[in-house]
Every structure is written in structure tokens, then in C-alpha cells.
Amino acid sequence: MSNSQRRGLLASVALVIPLVVAATPAASATEKPEIKVSGGLTQPVFSYQDAIREHVRVQSPADSDGDGKKDLIRVDIIRPKESESGLKVPVIMQETPYYDDPGVGFEVEKKKYDANGNVTKFPMYYDNYFVPRGYAFVSVDMIGTRLSEGCPTSYGTSDVLSGKAVIDWLNGRASAYDDKGDPVKATWTTGRTGMIGHSYEGGLAIGVAGTGVPGLETIVPLAGYTSGYETSRNNGTLTWFKGGQEWLAKRVDLDPDEKCAAVHQRLREGSDDATGNYNAYWHERNYRNGPISKARNVRASVFSVMGMQDRQVVGSQFSEWWAMLPRTVQRKAWVTQYGHLDPFWARREVWLTTLNKWFDHELMGVANDIMRQPHVDVQLGPGRWVTQPDWPARTRTTILRPQQDGLLGRKPSSGTGSYLDTAQTEIAMAADPATTNPNRLAFLTPPLKNAIRVSGTPSVSLRLKLDKPTANLGVLLVDYGTDTRINYRERGAASAEGLKFSGGEDCVGQSTADDDGCYLKAGDNTATSGYNVVTRGILDAQNHKSLSRSTPLTPGKPYQITWKMFPQDYEFKAGHRLGLVLTGANDDFNLDASGTGGGDDVEPGTGAKVTIELAGTSISLPLVNGTSIK
């Protein structure tokens, strides 16, 4: 949705319906300030209007702009006034590069300041909702953005260290200064901090947690990346436009380009758009097992939300990191059929209650039932949610093989098929599977006798020959059968990522004249269709042995190439058919600056002829109940 479209949508909203009843009056000045808990939840007994607003500059260990001085990080704070008179409060922290451009959240909000430089409007609802409940909200301008010094590095080391420095300051291990340069200590906090945020913000929370920093008790990453490589590449293919790393750093930093010219050059050269290979640049931005942040070092609890139809932060960003977390890490997840989404916009009442319980348990020590509830919520369709102990669900692997008659079944077959590596949209690839198409091969199971569910990461193995040194290899898993599903593809003035704005607002928490805490209401955007692309896999054939090295194939020589598809949790209904579509470059993953596919043709297809040997080709599916497939 463009900014102008959003402004138009906001202007059309006239109806305001409160979701949360106005807060109870603030605690009396004569009473000892204390946090109130009822029903396992903290209650809004503190005044948001009277809250203390202040700002400091925390010293980072990084000198990202190379000016010979450690960068100072701008930190804006709002906390209950009672924290000035003995009440120690925990912290909910959002670190983001987006306070300048494009803004935060679907309503692209930005900060507003008073004459003293303190924030009068914080983007999003965290301050409105949680400060009255006894939390401080700490809003951090990521290094090189808004009022912080330095240069952003597109997920690099200094981006992570700026957030870690703030956690250290909140726990008395780092220095901060006021506008006069005098030291400031965070005497008002317990030091117990939870980081939350969407997209880049969620990635920063994951990156900081992977440093193992003490005091960070929990993180809530929403569509948060864990591998910079997989935001712009996948298995050697470029999925984001060329120059995207430099573009991103410039977009979130409104300073003159010359200030960070040397950094931009390093981003441009290090990202290596020419090959799409994994290298030291991308390893630095690996929060699973990179040099700065590692999943095995995470000590904070994790509440993660992932949309399995996300094009910008693909599902493997969640699944690979989730599997690498130490077993001792307490965790919870929502796995959805949405795209690049913050659940505040999708399932608001359930989300707020769940998040409230989570932070209360992890930061306040409230004895509620959040950890006794099932740890994972899975969305199987519009309004259809199931719960389970972990993710993925318990499954057994079922191997399906393409047949010469166009069927997909368990028995091996013989023969060959071929197609050309040409960039196509997924709609073009999957449509009319019975129709001959020179740019794809399609195979379908018979109609299912019973519903089956995929939960986890499928993989595909192709026995193939090329007539050129490489090709873009694509594969789709498709649900053929008419149904009403989440419409994750539509992007318009009032819809995006599987949501549709419905008019009116919800008001969550307390408000002031500058910050009303009210947000557009939205619900599932659905569409009835005859088929749905469930998940996909893409690979540059040159990288089938190594992501770090391109090895051209010998034309005419047979190769067995196996790789993982994107993870998914999806139910195929009885009567539907599973489809396996083999194809070339996936135009839906030629993402432009807006995150929309098909914009720049970064992978236009090689034109290679791909010949498949059916006997050596298969797809492996993690099925919860796959016995009905023959």
C-alpha cells in the first residue's frame, strides 16, 4: 500500500469503536505505588497522560561512520511517573530503523517531539497499552537513523550492537548522556527487558538475543529475519533487486549520502549481486550461527510470529532458527497463512491478551497460565486455528513421485519430461495443470479421500540434464480444489498481506491529544479460487553443491539435485488434489523495493532446457496424516 493510499484510507475512517474500556484512575499519590494484577494480567492503573517522558543517548561500542568516535544511540523513554518515587519497572523495547522512512506499522507512524525534544507521540500501541500497566516503553532509533549517530549497515554488526548497548545501559553496564553531556543512569528500572518488533525490528530483536546479553529476558519477533542472505537471496538466486542492500541503508538514513559513502560502497561490493553466493558479508548478517549473533547463545524466551506466505521474510527464516534454539529456551509461536504481517492487525483481541500475559509472566513474574497453554497456534485457514505443543507438528515423511501419465503418486515411474527456464508468475505456473505448457511440468494426485496436513519443510529431488551450464530451478506445491482461502496475493488501497481494512478503529490503552492509541480495524482478506500455491522452492543449479561457490553444470550430463522448499503448515481438504509443478525462474520472487514480485527481473530465466528423469524425481512431504495418498 502506498503512503498516499494509506493517507486516503485513514481520511475515510469516521467510526471509532473502543476495544478497551478506559483505564481505571491512576493510583493515589498517598498510596504506595504498586502494580496491580487481576486474573493473571496487569491492570491499567497508572496514568499515561502523566507519564514521564525523557530521552538519552547511549554510547555504542561501534564507530560505524568511521569518524573516530563511538556512535551515540538516541533512546526515547516513557514510564509511569511512580517510577520516579520508588516503583521499579521492567522495559518493553522497540528498536527500529523506520522512524524516518517509511514510518512504523501499516499506518506508517512517525515520532512527534515537544520543545524539550521529548517524544509526545510514539508509533504503535506499545506505550498506550503497557505504560498504564506498569511498564516503561523504550523506543530506540537504530544506529545511523533518525536521531542516532553513525551509519546503518543493512543488518550488520553495528546494527545489532546498538540495541545490545541499550540493554547494557538499562542494566548498569553501559554509559548514557543527556543533552548537556552529563551521565544518566536508569535507576527506575528492574533491568528486565523484552524486545518486540516487526520485520527489520524483529530481526534486531533476534540479533540482540543471539549475543546472549544479560537482562534481555524475552523477545517477540514478528516476521523477523534470522539470515540477511535469505532476505535477498535463496539458494543462489537473487530474490531482491540488485543494489538492494545499499538502497535499504540509504532509505532509512536521511543524512546526506556522502556521510556514509564508504559504508555504502562496502554494502554494494560485499553483497555480491553478480553471483548470489553466500560469503563473509552475508555470514556477518547470519543470526543463526554468525560471528556476532548465534541461536545457541539465546537465553531470552521467544514468542515468534511467522506468516508462511511471506515473500520478504520467508518461512525458513523462522523454521531454521527455531530448530536451532537451545532446548532450555521457553518459547511460543503463531504460524499463519498471512504474508508479511504483524498480528496486531489480524487477530487483535486475542493478540493483545496473549501478549499481555506473555510480558507479565516473563518481565513481571506474574503467575498466569501462559506457559500452561499450548505453545503454538497454527492458522489453517480463515478463522481456523489449531493449537499444539510445538512446531512443526508430529509428522511422517511421505514421498510422492511424478508419473508419465501426469499423476503424482507413491510408485516410481519411468520416462522423461522437459521445460524451458523462463521467468513466470506463480499464477501462470500453476494455472490449468492439464494444459501443455512448454515452461513447466505439472503432476497431480488423485482426489484425496481424506484431508491431509503438511507441517514442516518439504524437500524436492530432481534427476535432470541441462543444455546450458545453469538454470533457475523452481518447484511449487499446489492445492487444486475450489475453496475460500486467505488472499495473501492481493495488494491494494485497503488490503495487503492477507488482510483487509474494514473501516473504523479500535482504541487500545490510554490516549493523549498527540497520541490517541487508536488503530484501523482489519480482518481476513479472503478469496474463493480453484487452486492455491501452498509453498515453493527455488535454486540456482550452479549452487546445488555449495551456496558459497558457483559450479557450472556440464550440459548433457545427468545430475541429482536435492534441496529444501520453504516450510509450511497447511491442510488439503478431502476431494482436493496435491499438485507438483516443476518450472524455472519464479517471477513472484523478483522483488522490487516495495516487496512486490515481478518488478525488476533480477532472475529473468536462462532459457535453458531442463530435462527431468521421472524415475529419479520426487517430493518429500512431512504429513500429519498422509495415509490416504496412494
Using alpha carbons, select from 117, 232, 228, 93 the residue that is nearest to residue 168.
Answer: 93
Query: Any alpha helices (H) in 37-125, and if so which ranges?
Result: none
User: Which pLDDT score is estimated for 9?
Assistant: 36
What percent helix, strand, coil does the chain show, rounded to 5?
Answer: 20, 35, 45
Tell me the mean pLDDT in the region 375-383.
96
Do 22 and 47 contact (CB within 8 A), yes or no? Answer: no
DSSP string, 577-598: EEEEEEES-BGGGSB-TTS-TT
Helices 261-270 and 244-251, packing angle to 10 deg? 150
Q: Pick the catalytic residue: 64, 139, 162, 199?
A: 199
Instruction: Compute the average pLDDT of residues 275-289.
Output: 97
Kindly list the strands in the beta sheet with 499-507, ordered across the sheet, starting from the edge strand earlier in the chain: 495-496, 499-507, 518-524
Q: Is the pLDDT of residue 26 over 90?
A: no
Give the phi and the psi of residue 118 in degrees, each rounded to 5: -90, 150
CA distance 189 to 138: 11
**φ/ψ (deg, to 5) at 381:** 175, -175
Cell matching residue 335: 504460524
pLDDT, tens digit (0-9, with 9 covering 90-100), for 40-99: 999 999 999 999 999 999 999 999 999 999 999 999 999 999 999 999 999 999 999 999
pLDDT of residue 33: 79
**Among 310, 421, 540, 569, the one annotated catalytic:** 310
Which pLDDT score, from 0 to 100, does residue 6 have?
Answer: 38
Using pLDDT thresholds of 50, 70 and 90, give the confidence band for residue 12.
very low
What is the arithmetic mean of pLDDT over 576-582? 98
Residue range 35-54, pLDDT digits in tens: 999 999 999 999 999 999 99
Instruction: Show the DSSP H helices in 441-572 as ranges.
Output: none
CB 407 within 8 A of CB 443: yes
Reduce the DSSP state of residue 468 to 3 states and report it: coil
pLDDT of residue 101: 82
CB within 8 Å of 482: residues ≥ 6 apart: 528, 529, 530
pLDDT band at 29 (very low <50, low <70, confident <90, very high): very low
Mean pLDDT for 483-504 is: 88
**Spatial CB neighbours of 479, under 8 Å, sequence gap ≥ 6:** 531, 532, 534, 570, 572, 576, 577, 578, 579
Section 303-312 average pLDDT: 96
Q: How far apart are alpha carbons 177 and 576 in whole angstroms? A: 63
Beta-carbon count within 10 A of 3 CB: 11
> What's the pLDDT score for residue 601?
54
- How long a stretch of residues is the chain? 630
With b for 16 or more beta-carbon neighbours within 10 A and e for fewer, the 595-625 pattern comes to bebeebebbebbebbbbbbbebbbbbbbbbe
Is 141 known to be catalytic?
no
pLDDT digits (tens, 9 = 90+) for 382-428: 999 999 999 999 999 999 999 999 999 999 899 999 999 999 999 99
- For residue 137, the SS3 value is strand
pTM, full prediction: 0.93
Q: Are β-strands 459-466 and 518-524 bridged in parallel, bridged antiparallel, or unpaired?
A: unpaired
Q: How far apart are CA 439 and CA 420, in angstroms?
A: 5
Q: Is 199 a catalytic residue?
A: yes
Cα separation, 441 vs 272, in Å, equals: 32
pLDDT tens readout for residues 441-477: 999 999 999 999 999 999 999 999 999 999 999 999 9
Residue 4: pLDDT band by 50, 70, 90 thresholds? very low
Q: Phi and psi for 531 in degrees, rounded to 5?
A: -160, 165
H or E segment and range at residue 357: helix 348-359
Is residue 241 pLDDT above 90, yes or no? no
Calpha distance 144→71 (Å, rounded): 8
Question: Quick one: CA dihedral 409, 413, 415, 421, positive or negative?
Answer: positive
Dist. CA 296–CA 327, nearest whole Å: 9
Given the residues 55, 264, 340, 361, the one annotated as active site: 340
For the chain, give the mean pLDDT: 92
d(CA 273, CA 328): 39
158 is catalytic: no
Among 321, 614, 304, 285, residue whose Cα is nearest residue 457: 321
Look at residue 365 and tell me whether its pLDDT is greater than 90. yes
